[in-house]
Amino acid sequence: MDTVEELELFIRYTESVLSVPFSPKVQTIVSNTDKEFNYGISSPVNMKPDYESMHRRLREFCSVLIGEASSLVVRTQYRMANINPQQINGNWRAGWVLDVHTLSSRLLPSGGYDTKRTEFGELVFQVKYRHDRTKIQSIAEIAAKFVKEKFAVDGHLVLPYLKAILPIPSSDINRDFQPVTEITQAIGWLLNVSVRTDYLTKVKRTVPLKNLADMESKREQLRGAFAVQAQDLKNCCVLLVDDLYDSGTTLTEATKVLYGQSGVQHVLVLTLTRTRIGGN
119 vs 16: which has the higher pLDDT: 119
Pairing of β 200-202 and β 152-153 = unpaired
State which of 24-28, 71-75, 186-190, 219-223 shows the largest mean pLDDT.
Answer: 186-190
Is residue 127 within 8 Å of 246, Cβ to Cβ? no
CA–CA gap between residue 135 and residue 119 (Å, rounded): 12
| β-strand partners of 239 | 165, 268
How much is the pLDDT for 223? 77
In the chain, residues under CATH classification 3.40.50.2020 are 86-274
Cα maximum dimension of the chain: 80
How much is the pLDDT for 146? 95
Residue 189 phi, psi dihedral angles, 5° rounding: -65, -40
pLDDT class of 66 with cuts at 50, 70, 90: low
pLDDT class of 47 with cuts at 50, 70, 90: very low
How much is the pLDDT for 109? 83
CA–CA gap between residue 142 and residue 174 (Å, rounded): 28
What is residue 240's three-state secondary structure? strand
CA–CA gap between residue 125 and residue 140 (Å, rounded): 14
How much is the pLDDT for 52? 63
pLDDT class of 249 with cuts at 50, 70, 90: confident
Q: For the chain, what is the mean pLDDT?
A: 78
> Residues 189-218: pLDDT tens digits?
999 999 999 899 887 776 666 666 666 667
Say what the alpha-carbon torsion angle 45, 48, 50, 52 is, to the nearest 10 degrees.
Answer: 150
**Please, what is the Cα angle at 257 between 97 and 269, to 5 degrees?**
15
Structural domain 86-274, CATH architecture? 3-Layer(aba) Sandwich (3.40)
What does the pLDDT average to over 25-41?
53
Buried (b) or exposed (e) across 149-184, using 16+ Cβ within 10 A?
eebeeeeeebbeebbbbbbbbbbeeeeeebbbbbbb
